């Protein structure tokens, strides 16, 4: 009996902001490693998630949403997204089934220019549109680029995700696994913890705080005697008014952020966590090259 050939490689997930790239990666991995919110540019770094299936290993790369960059932070995010598409074995281009197709062609052409690897178009959020609309979308998008596959799915519900994984794996070259099969991501724990705090700031303050919030983990210490992981992190904003909103009346908002983040961090680290949060103002950091570098962008 002939042994099935093992396939491995890298697949970048690209697309506009808020189309569901991070939600899709979390759905593929079956565990949350990438933060999500309804704010644009929630994902700021090139994030790798490692997924193993019988006969293959796929290293998925979640990228910041591609957009017209204005501030230094936005230009940095755009550069990160475009760099992530280079040197991969396949590209998954994600679009939102509920969004207009009118401006997608130009952006798609710009992002996929020079891409020679297979490109799979994923139409996400199909649970929110009628079948007739979906058929029209498939027809419209198929004229924009020579996609090797077009996959309708719902990342939020998980429908169609398994089929996408199988199609991606088929497009990867034969080769050995890049990572051990018990590793979910190559991200440091400190990075994931900082992202989880940042997500709670987004979700709990809603539109009162712009997305230009950064989080730095100052200390991360395991206390063997108690089995508790002590984490200290600083939430960085651009103005004093934003600091006041995050702290809240009598510190209530900061407590809510800390409690919600701690619960999620404990699930991720599989242990008890003591989380201490501070808030600091760094004026206009998102447009300061030195600060961007300091905060990891």
Last residue in a domain, options 171, 197, 229? 171
Q: Around Cβ 183, how many Cβ atoms within 10 Å? A: 13
Residue 2: pLDDT band with limits 50, 70, 90 = very low
**Contacts for 154 with CB less than 8 Å, ≥ 6 apart:** 124, 125, 126, 127, 160
Q: Would you say residue 78 lies in a domain? A: yes
**Residue 81: what pLDDT?**
58
We report the CATH number of the domain holding residue 254 as 3.30.300.20
Are residues 114 and 60 part of one domain? Answer: yes
Are residues 194 and 105 part of one domain? Answer: no
pTM: 0.73
We report the CATH number of the domain holding residue 114 as 3.40.50.300
Q: What is the extent of the structural domain holding 54?
A: 7-171
**Residue 107: what pLDDT?**
79
pLDDT mean across residues, the chain = 85
As for how many domains the chain has, the answer is: 2
pLDDT > 70? residue 159 = yes
| Structure tokens belonging to residue 69 | 């960059």
What are 254-280's pLDDT values in tens digits? 999 999 999 999 988 889 999 999 999
Work out whether strand 56-62 and strand 149-152 pair parallel, antiparallel, or are unpaired. Answer: unpaired
The DSSP code sequence of 115-127 is --S-EEEEEE-GG
Are residues 66 and 20 part of one domain? Answer: yes
**Contacts for 126 with CB less than 8 Å, ≥ 6 apart:** 97, 134, 152, 153, 154, 159, 160
pLDDT > 70? residue 46 = no
- Ranked by mean pLDDT, the top range of 15-19, 98-102, 192-196, 260-264 is 260-264
Are residues 11 and 115 part of one domain? Answer: yes
**Contacts for 243 with CB less than 8 Å, ≥ 6 apart:** 237, 279, 280, 281
- Residue 163 dihedral angles phi and psi, to the nearest 5°: -65, -40
Last residue in a domain, options 171, 197, 216? 171
Q: Would you say residue 176 lies in a domain? A: no
Are residues 147 and 28 part of one domain? Answer: yes
**Residue 210: what pLDDT?**
59
Are residues 193 and 69 part of one domain? Answer: no
Are residues 211 and 141 part of one domain? Answer: no
Are residues 133 and 38 part of one domain? Answer: yes
**Residue 61: what pLDDT?**
87
Are residues 199 and 156 part of one domain? Answer: no
Are residues 50 and 166 part of one domain? Answer: yes
What are 95-154's pLDDT values in tens digits? 999 988 887 887 788 788 888 999 999 999 999 999 999 999 999 999 999 999 999 999
């Amino acid at each position: 009996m002939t042994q099935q050939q093992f396939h491995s490689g890298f697949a970048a997930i690209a697309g506009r902001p808020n189309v569901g790239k991070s939600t899709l990666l979390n759905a593929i991995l079956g565990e949350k490693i990438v933060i999500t919110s309804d704010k644009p540019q929630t994902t700021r770094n090139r994030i790798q998630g490692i997924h193993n299936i019988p006969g293959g290993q796929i290293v998925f790369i979640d990228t910041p949403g591609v957009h017209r960059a204005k501030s230094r932070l936005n230009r940095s995010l755009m550069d990160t997204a475009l760099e992530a598409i280079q040197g991969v074995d396949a590209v998954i281009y994600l679009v939102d089934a509920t969004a207009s197709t009118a401006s997608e062609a130009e952006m798609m052409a710009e992002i996929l220019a020079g891409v020679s690897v297979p490109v799979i178009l994923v139409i996400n959020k199909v649970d929110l549109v009628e079948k007739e609309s979906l058929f029209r979308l498939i027809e419209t998008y198929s004229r924009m680029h020579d996609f090797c596959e077009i996959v309708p799915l719902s990342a939020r519900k998980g429908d169609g995700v398994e089929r996408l994984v199988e199609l991606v794996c088929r497009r990867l070259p034969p080769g050995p696994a890049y990572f051990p099969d018990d590793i979910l991501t190559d991200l440091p724990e400190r990075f994931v913890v900082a992202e989880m705090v940042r997500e709670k700031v987004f979700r709990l303050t809603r539109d009162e705080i712009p997305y230009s919030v950064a989080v730095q983990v100052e200390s991360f210490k395991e206390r063997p005697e108690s089995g508790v992981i002590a984490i200290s992190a600083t939430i960085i904003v651009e103005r004093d008014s934003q600091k006041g909103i995050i702290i809240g009346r009598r510190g209530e908002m900061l407590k809510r952020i800390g409690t919600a983040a701690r619960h999620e961090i404990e699930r991720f680290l599989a242990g008890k966590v003591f989380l201490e949060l501070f808030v600091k103002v760094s004026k206009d950091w998102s447009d300061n090259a030195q600060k961007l570098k300091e905060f990891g962008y």
